[in-house]
Structure 1
Amino acid sequence: MNIILLKTGDVHIHMLDSFDRYQKTDRVWVLQSGRFNEKPDSFEEHWSEEDKQRIIHHIRMVIKSGGAVVAAMKGHNVHGFAVIEAAPFGEMSIYRELSYIHVTRELRGTGLGSRLFQEACAAAKALGAEKLYIGAHPSLETQKFYRKMGCLPAQELNSAIYYREPRDIQLEFTL
């Protein structure tokens, strides 16, 4: 599996055809009274073909606007990817958003997510970022991944990212 920095010409409408974004969540982290607590919450997520096409369009726009997309490729198919948004933000403009990092279901737990995270960090640093900002899915598995990567609660809250998905846990990672 090759991990590459995508260029506009690498993006095509079938690149996520074999990507399986299914996740069943039974327990989540929530921030209550300044502390993270585990609580039951059951839901499932699965990308439709429309979702995949919307994400492919987003990937194309991120690359065109000066952001970065790192992808784990096998042939012409994407098996994992991470998206670094183009626009810096924060009080000192040191943050870049890691808006997506996903690994297809059958390859989760293989270390591919860690490799993608490391490559996304390198791409963000090359874009001038000092910190990654992540609105992270609240599932225990996702939060465990980010803790393992060394992410911490965000020091600055990006309200636009927070309000996009208020259940997400706002994290950061110093590059």
Structure 2
Amino acid sequence: MENNILLKYRALYADEICRELFNDFIRHQIVTKCWRKENGKWIIKDAPFVDDWIEKDYQILVSCLKNTVLSNGLVYAAFYDGNLKGFVSVEPEIFGGEQGYCDLSSIHISEDMRNKGIGKTLFFEAKKWAKQKGAKKLYISAHSAVESQAFYKSMGCVEAEVYNQKHVEDEPYDCQLECSL
């Protein structure tokens, strides 16, 4: 990426996570096709919509990210020229029995900075952190958009062996994935 000197990565502290942190973050994503599981098989279907956050979404996000940090989880961010352009969060609890999952609760890259390797860097940091905490795999309840799933596949993710039912109930169209550490 050009101007790598302007790109910095670091963990976030709870007291700096606020609505203003996201002032230069562009969530916007135009989705045309999504993966859907029908009759036990994954297929690509037309499912056009625009994914964007409204103010209430930002308020929930700020609350969730603060909670992650305050409960000893990870929120790791990418800043370009001092502005937040990507982040990943991992919850501290290990679940799933033998699977030893740590929940990758979010990963988002600002629309203006996608396809520049930021997501990959954040994902690898999440994996490293979860492994240090004693997890065996990351669990990801991920957006079913074809582009989002292509990213996870490129990171070595596969369909989760054991589904987290809370994620399935909360986001029935998300894909439930895992990635070995």
Structure-1-length-normalised TM-score: 0.94
Q: Is the 8 A contact 1:137 1:167 kept in 2?
A: yes
Aligned residue for 1:174? Answer: 180
Aligned residue for 1:32? Answer: 38
Are residues 1:52 and 2:54 paired?
A: no
Q: Is the 8 A contact 2:100 2:136 kept in 1?
A: yes
- How far is the alpha carbon of 1:122 from its aligned partner? 1.0
Are residues 1:145 and 2:151 paired?
A: yes
Are residues 1:14 and 2:13 paired?
A: no
Instruction: Deviation per CA, 1:113-148: give whole Å up to 9, x if none.
Output: 111111111111122211100111111000100001
- How big is the alpha-carbon RMSD for the aligned residues of Structure 1 and Structure 2? 1.4
* Separation in structure 2 between the aligned mates of residue 75 and residue 61 of structure 1, nearest angstrom: 27
Paired residue type of 1:115: T
Tell me how many residue pairs correspond in the alignment. Answer: 175
Q: Which residues in structure 2 correspond to 1:100-119 (within 5 Å)?
A: 100-119=106-125
* Separation in structure 1 between the aligned mates of residue 158 and residue 21 of structure 2, nearest angstrom: 32
Aligned residue for 2:130? Answer: 124
Structure-2-length-normalised TM-score: 0.91
Paired residue type of 1:80: G
Instruction: Deviation per CA, 1:52-91: give whole Å up to 9, x if none.
Output: 2221121111000111111002365311000101221112
Residues 93 and 151 of structure 1, relative CA distance in 2, 3 Å threshold: closer
Q: Which residues in structure 2 correspond to 1:75-90 (within 5 Å)?
A: 76-90=82-96
Q: Is the 8 A contact 1:67 1:127 kept in 2?
A: no
- How far is the alpha carbon of 1:23 from its aligned partner? 0.9
Q: Return 5+ residue gaps in structure 2 as ranges.
A: 1-6
Q: Could you tell me the percent identity over the aligned residues?
A: 35
The farther-off stretch of 7-16 and 131-140 is 7-16
- How far is the alpha carbon of 1:93 from its aligned partner? 6.5
- How far is the alpha carbon of 1:2 from its aligned partner? 1.0
SS class of match (1:150): coil
